[in-house]
Chain A
Amino acid sequence: MSPKRSTAAADIGEAAARKTAVALARRVGFYAVTCLISVFFALPLLWLVTAPFDASPAYAIEFPEPTLRNFETILSNPYALPSLLNSLILAVGTALFVVTGAALAAYALSRVRIPGRDALLYVLLLLSSVVTGTAAMVPLFLMVSEVGGAIHPVLGVDSHFSVTLVMTGGLLPAAIFMLKDFVDSIPPSYEESARVFGASPFRVLKDVVVPLITPGLATIAVWSIVNVWGNFLVPFILLRDADKQPAAVLIRTLYTEAGQPNLALLATFSLLYSLPVVAMYLFVSKKYGFRFHGGIKS
């Protein structure tokens, strides 16, 4: 090998080493930034998990003085556990309405050609944000109390059923929109095949379409439950009876005599309040293996 060649080889080696160093520095930088960001998001969650077990929690994360007193106190609150049950009733009821309604509507909208179908969907989607939006609360309250209450108390104020209907009205258009994408992705020949064998439209929906869009239905059910679980405004306005109020409304009452937020109770109840949602997510994710599709076809 000539000396010139070996210098060239050394140059190449040096360049490669520089390249590796740069790549390494980039990786270190990337992970440092990622860590910072995740700490930013993890701290509140960490507080949520530690504060309930702390005798005197503050706006800081510290190693707790371990105690279960907070749980004892919250469980002795006569409204705490029933409010979680109320949340569950509202969430599951709404999810049932939304899933059933959205499945029927999405199937029809996907398979039947009607003029202006897409425009209709977009208008519905736009208006749905109004139904449960803040601006609509006064007319909504009046409608439920004057019209609904006049028809039957079940449709009036202080009824879980009317809260469920209002929440369904707000969620249904977006649910239809999401589900229609799922239905659209099913080749029509499945249904045609079943029809030629003599299956009625409802039978086709039950035997063929619903099993194929189960991940979509699960997504919508979870999404509805999470939405209702976290909604404060609608039940706050439509439910006066403290016995009927869901957890989201109850949290507001957890104050000390001095009018300060009772951090110990707030944190404890928040933990109890968030556990069912986490459990549900894990269960559904395991059972249906769904990803959050949104409205985008995978």
Chain B
Amino acid sequence: MSTNTLTGFTCLAPIAARDTVLLGHGSGGRLSGELVRDVFLPAFGSPELERLNDQAVVTVGGARIAMTTDSFVIRPLFFPGGDIGSLAVYGTVNDLAVGGAQPLFLSAAFILEEGFPMSQLRRVAASLQRAAQACGVQVVTADTKVVERGKGDGLFINTTGIGLAPSARELSADRARPGDRILLNGSIGEHGIAILAQREGLEFESAIESDCAPLHTLCAQVLEAADGIRCMRDLTRGGLSSALNEIAAQSRAGIALDESRIPVREEVRGACEMLGLDPLYVANEGKMIAIVAPEAAVSALAAMRNHPLGRGAEIIGTVTEAHAGLVTMKTALGTARIVDMLAGDQLPRIC
């Protein structure tokens, strides 16, 4: 055979400008970050928005009001452990809760596709109301739009939430400091795998349910038990990895994780092995992390474990001076590797 085939190597030029919106722009990964940085921040550019937190905290007549908004485009609409209605409440409640706010009021906007079954809409509305009651929030305003058949995907929901943030607390993704501990309230990846299993018709020995849950009382309990909480984040699309990468970038600090401390249920691990996924990137809807000053870590962990949604809580890592902006992880073999932010996402519309 010819021996020069390997030296006449060839390559390709990069594809430069992103001239259209890609699915990956909605993944919560690096492409989403680019979209915010290149399009929305230059357009809106308010100081509060530029902090890139899950919620804004603004002062109105002496009161600190927390506000957040989220849209829900999940498929399937009904999944093991929840549905789009309860998710639309918990998602927004959690974004307020991790900002240290007490959630109070919600708006709910429905974008419906012509031909969507009324029975399903009733089911979703009832579920949304039950979830709101369970969280002690009221739906105080709502909107409906109907788009032509084929111009929507059945049902999309947007909710906006308002809450009261006690004055003393300053929680933000840029406040992590070397030495701080990273707390996680339980096992990761259940929501994403439950959705994927349902969507792809995969069956496992025991059903995996979404972890979809409201985190406001857990957050309040942690804040009450310990000073020195720097920042909290609920883990949604993009998983644990995206949340930690954002904090590392905004705080200009490194984050070092210990793989053996990160709880992942056996069924989720099995499903991830089979599907070629890393649980660190799989979506959650009832998990949160707290970045806590070292002296407050023990009491914060105890407070977490004392709550039904935090029984499996662990200290999973430390904020470091080294590798600023990067998340690294000590593997089971004792070696270290990077936990990178994904560019996009191959699981369409997890939440």
On whether the two chains bind one another, the answer is no
